[in-house]
Chains A and B, each alone.
Chain A
Amino acid sequence: MAEREQIRKPAPAERETEAAEAPAASERADELKAELDDLLDEIDEVLETNAEDFVKSYIQKGGQ
């Protein structure tokens, strides 16, 4: 890990920007969570109806 830090060498200004953005990132995580819940709410309608049969019948010939 220390070695990687050495490789990146972020400038001090860059580090401050990252720190300032931290609260925004956590808000974004909350938004993403809400979006995922909405997505899961609507998704049942489009999922393949008989998952077991669908998975079993999804057989492909090998390609390249």
Chain B
Amino acid sequence: MAVPKTLGIETEYGIVHKGTDEPNPIAASSVLINAYLHDAGYRTDTGHESVHWDFIDETPGIDARGYAPTGAMPPDVETHLVNAVLTNGARYYVDHAHPELSTPECADARSVVLYDRAAELIAVRSMQAAANLLPPGEELVLYKNNSDGKGNSYGCHENYLVDRSTPFGRIVNRATAHFITRQIYTGAGKVGAEAPGMSTDDVDFQLTQRADFFEEEVGLETTLKRPIINTRDEPHADARKYRRLHVIVGDANPSQVATFLKVGTTALVLALTEDDAFTRDLTFRTPVPAMRQVSHDMSLRQALELDDGSTITALEAQWEILDQSKKYVEAHGTDNVGGETALDVLQRWEQVLAGLEDDPMTLAGQLDWVAKYRLLNGYRERHELPWSDARLRAMDIQYSDMRPDKSLAARVGLETIVDDAEALAATTEPPHDTRAFFRGRCLQKFPAAVVAANWDSLVFDVGTDALRRVPMMEPLRGTEAHVGTLFDECDSAAELLRRLGN
């Protein structure tokens, strides 16, 4: 049975330290985050920078398939780097030499877009705060992309709550078909290719940043030999009831419409999978090459081989998945797929597929790859440049520049789903409809009493005997409806804990 799709995304930003000959991206990321925390008024008077992340429940080495293949390398948890929890329920930290922002848990795709835009505004303020701390002439610049064009990639991961009882093999099958074919609207676009054995000049322009970096169908790794389906089994919730599907194939999208569709359609696909509602398998014969085939095919007409010997294009597969999703919503309603927002997802999904079929360039205001292609190709034609020209590669990178005056994405006229006033409020206010509300309110109201936090618990020091851990194993409990009044009525963390019955 489909469980309500609690979801969120985590984005590793590219970082450049300008004005120095000896860049150290780990140190730069720490400076950046600490500059933000100080500037935004997070308390620094307790000897630690902010509320610490609590690693007790982090087990990234546990495999969803129930075993760890010989030679698999579970990711290490880096516990010594800056790692802060924000009052909007988000997490801001240094991960693998990149600053990373995780949205709080969200209950629908629009909320994800809101908190992803809030994360962008936090990134902008972080760069400005860091500029004030660094020597004159130095600057930290962030990029919302996934590749440096030289074979190094960093991720934008999605997370979806799914029913533990759904057979994992079924999730692998259905999700893989979606991940291969959704690229036609989720791609952020890239000049050249970085796939093993390919030269950068083998492909002029491709749909995604990320497809070149996938080498396995299923696996535990996230930094090398990346799999299309990541099996990290770390639910951050009641493990008897839930899985968290950790999705690593996506691009970071400056376009809000692309982010909305990326998470909205995937939430639907997972609900259909849990309820076994797909009426036919779309099993691809060779998923890893198919990822690249789709990404490298601007015509969107490439025939992909299925296991049953037939072929299908990415666009045809997406029409089929959309059709099944509409039928699912008609039969099951929208309760488990983000409520009314799911209807908006279905509508935009159909519009985008129709646009892609008719003329992708009409979607330059909605999709990143189209917007980027149109801009770069226009520049290329005007100046009569080959695709290998450094100016086009520079524009590719600069599309994702987070400085508002430098960002090309900010200039191409992308349609927005949330406005910046709402997103600015969301940099400090948690979502009202998930457990992130409880986490965020505690940090807003009783920051001195919260000594550590993670996704599924908070640890309090209320000045008496032992520290008190409050577990939050249900992602949809601790919402404003559950505990909003309680926060209004409590003047201290001690009182809050007492009233919670701890």
Contacts and interface: CB of A to CB of B under 8 A. Distances in A.
Contact of B154 (A25, A48, A57, A64): A64
A62 B398 contact: no
Interface string A28-64: 1100100111011011001110011011011111111
A25 B358 CA distance: 11
Contacts of B412: 39
A64 B390 contact: no
A63 B96 contact: yes
B334 to A, nearest CB: 22
A36 B157 contact: no
A3 interface: yes
Given A32-B361, A35-B413, A60-B148, A55 B155 contact: no
Contacts of B375: 36, 39-40, 43
B98 interface: yes
23 contacts: A8-B323, A36-B374, A39-B411, A39-B413, A40-B382, A42-B411, A46-B398, A48-B398, A51-B389, A58-B149, A58-B397, A60-B15, A60-B25, A60-B97, A60-B148, A61-B98, A63-B97, A63-B154, A63-B223, A64-B12, A64-B75, A64-B96, A64-B222
B319 A61 contact: no
Nearest to B146: A63
A55 B393 contact: yes
B408 interface: yes
B23 to A, nearest CB: 9
Contacts of B358: 25
A45 B404 CA distance: 14
A36 B378 contact: yes
Interface of A: 3-4, 7-8, 25, 28-29, 32, 35-37, 39-40, 42-43, 46-48, 51-52, 54-55, 57-64
A40 B376 CA distance: 9
Contacts of A60: 14-15, 25, 97-98, 147-148, 152, 154
Nearest to A48: B394
B323 A7 contact: yes
Classify the interface of chain B: helix, strand, loop or mixed: mixed
B349 to A, nearest CB: 13
A57 to B, nearest CB: 8
A4 B152 contact: no
B16 A61 contact: no
A55 B153 contact: no
A55 B149 contact: yes
Contacts of A3: 316
B140 to A, nearest CB: 13
B95 interface: yes
A55 B192 CA distance: 13
Given A47-B395, A51-B393, A62 B153 contact: yes
A43 B408 contact: yes
Contacts of A52: 390
A51 B397 CA distance: 10
Contacts of A47: 391, 394-395, 398
B378 A55 contact: no
Contacts of B25: 60-61
A51 to B, nearest CB: 4
Given A39-B411, A40-B382, A61 B394 contact: no
Contacts of A4: 315-316, 319-320
Given A8-B319, A32-B361, A47-B398, A64 B152 contact: no
A28 B157 contact: no
Contacts of B406: 46
A18 B378 CA distance: 28
Contact of B152 (A28, A29, A57, A59): A59
B301 to A, nearest CB: 10
A29 B323 CA distance: 28
Given A46-B408, A60-B154, A63-B96, 18 more contacts: A7-B323, A8-B319, A25-B362, A32-B362, A35-B413, A36-B378, A39-B412, A40-B378, A47-B394, A54-B397, A55-B394, A58-B16, A60-B15, A61-B154, A62-B154, A63-B97, A64-B157, A64-B222
Interface string B367-404: 00000001100110010000001110111011000000
B309 to A, nearest CB: 15
A25 to B, nearest CB: 7
